[in-house]
Amino acid sequence: MERKELAVELKHNGNNCAQAVLCAFEDEVGLSKEELRKIGAGFGVGMGCMESTCGALCGAQMVLGMKKYDGKPVLRDAAGILKEFENRCGATVCKDLKGRDTGVVVCDCDDCVRHAVEIAEQL
């Protein structure tokens, strides 16, 4: 199964978007699924209120840190992830992606998870 589809399956089985992205990289980051679920627990639904950054994007940024951080800043890569996610999904804030205020869904959760995983795979 492709990693992005694994992440979507994880999302539909008790994980928020951040946890789903993180757990899809369990084999690469050296932490257990339970540890990754704990790390991502507070990042779903735009940090619990739809007012903040998409959990899938947060998960991709955490994967970046675990895969590439070696004591030197990864800010350029982090900015690249953010821009690529926004290009693919149309926004970065949960409420904007889900159309909470407009009634127009820009990108659904499953596709946000897929895009976040694809972007993180490119690291």
Q: What is the pLDDT of residues 43-78, one digit of tens each?
A: 999 999 999 999 999 999 999 999 999 999 999 999
pTM above 0.85, yes or no: yes
- Residues 6 or more apart from 33 whose CB is under 8 A from it? 23, 26
Whether the predicted pLDDT of 29 surpasses 90: yes
pLDDT computed for residue 45 by the predictor: 92
Residue type, 24: A
pLDDT computed for residue 123 by the predictor: 82
Cβ–Cβ contacts within 10 Å for residue 14, how many? 9
* Number of residues written out for the chain: 123
pLDDT computed for residue 44 by the predictor: 92
Residue 73 per-residue DSSP state? -
Whether the predicted pLDDT of 91 surpasses 90: yes
Q: Residues 98, 105: contact at Cβ < 8 Å?
A: yes
Whether the predicted pLDDT of 10 surpasses 90: yes
Per-chain mean pLDDT for the chain: 97
pLDDT computed for residue 49 by the predictor: 92
Residue type, 66: M
Closest CA to 111 of 31, 1, 20, 13: 20
Residue 46 per-residue DSSP state? H
